Structure 1
Amino acid sequence: MTKSVDSTAPVLTSVRQRTGVIELNRPKALNSLNPEMIDIIAKAVKNWEDDDSIDQIVLYTTNPKAFCAGGDVRFARDNILSGDAQLVDDFFAAEYTLNGKLATYKKPLVSIIDGVVMGGGLGISLHGSHRVVTENAFASMPEMAIGYFTDVGVAHAAQRMVGTRGQASPALAKYWAITGYRMYAADMLWSGLATHAVQDAETILDAIVENGADTALKQHSYVPDGEAPLA
């Protein structure tokens, strides 16, 4: 296994067997994405895409409270107030470019979502092939609360997701954008935001590394009891 040299870096990258693992590691900020994090993730996925020794990529969190709480709004606000709008524009350009790259990635891209995922956290997970949520996961797009819009490709994806309800719904995308509704596992599966639900993040990570995403998820995923509240 090869790991990032600096264990204090905000994103840790490693190779476990034939799996490239990207671990979000900025717990005090709930893994909010800053330019350094975007750069590390972008470089890792680029390097691994054509590497024949890597079969799949997993995005993970070192903090069970949060997969990723979104883009670093404080970074953006502070730089706008200090007059450095170009730095903020460059940050969003890099973030949105990464979202697009993940949406067209050649290899299985598995996000294991434990804890909160909002905004930019959905941007780095929703567009992948496998979106795996735990019982502790919850998601929302709360940009409307700060006068922003539903970005990172979520408005596009939300209109087209089918989920267990069996049909796409532009109304769902509008509802998320207007309300910032908080979804848990049942809602995420029903809407299509998630593809699988599991009991434990670490267990499924180990299983995916050992057996591959499809086999591991077939063995470890489940469907929550009861109807999704969004239904």
Structure 2
Amino acid sequence: MRELTLIVAEDNLLVREGVLRLVAGIEGVRVAASCSHYDELLAAVDNYAPDVVITDIRMPPGHRDEGIRAANRFRTSHPDLGVLVLSQFLDAAYVLALLEEGTRGRGYLLKDHVDEVDRFAGAIRTVAAGGSFIDDDVVDVLVRSRTRTVDSPLASLSARELEVLTEMATGATNSAIAESLFVSAHSVEKHASAIFAKLGLAEDVEVNRRVKAVVMFLAGRTPEPEPAGGPGGS
């Protein structure tokens, strides 16, 4: 297994040291640099060309959404770089902001779960390989607490399609959804295709439509219409 090079960006010293200690216990990874400021993160990525950045959402100078902005900036400057955002926020808006330019190589993990080393290591390796990762608890809590209204932009989905999308939001596979809803796997695939079409998610190798549909469901919104031929970038 090829060793992965990481950069850790976190302005809280105690949290940063804790993350570094946990990463040190993960086989096959090494930390090239750690930083506490947005500008330091950008410079470190340029200097070390890491495989993965692990970053907080908020850090100096603005303490707002620097980690998300960095992740989106790297889409252009370092397109093969994986980014795992660590957050204390159970807020789908942050997840949507992270994934709005594509899901490839992007992950969102709650800080409460960083000490679950297998989950943490799995998230790191997933984004390094170009996959996408959303913390199970983010999905679960938001699905349970979200209130649908009659004017929801998801109202175009049928009752069965909403059931399928809700199951998707728990992380269930198509076969698991089929078993839960007592339908065939083929039926689930047809419903999933209908969901993607109604939400305007065109087929694109850079966008995991399943993940993006779930995030839109959790955020209670649908995407802006995409131009013909699919999205212009990842």
TM bin, normalised by shorter chain, reads 0.3 to 0.5
TM-score (norm 2): 0.33
The structure in which a higher percent of residues are helix is: 2
* Max Rg structure: 2
TM-score (norm 1): 0.33
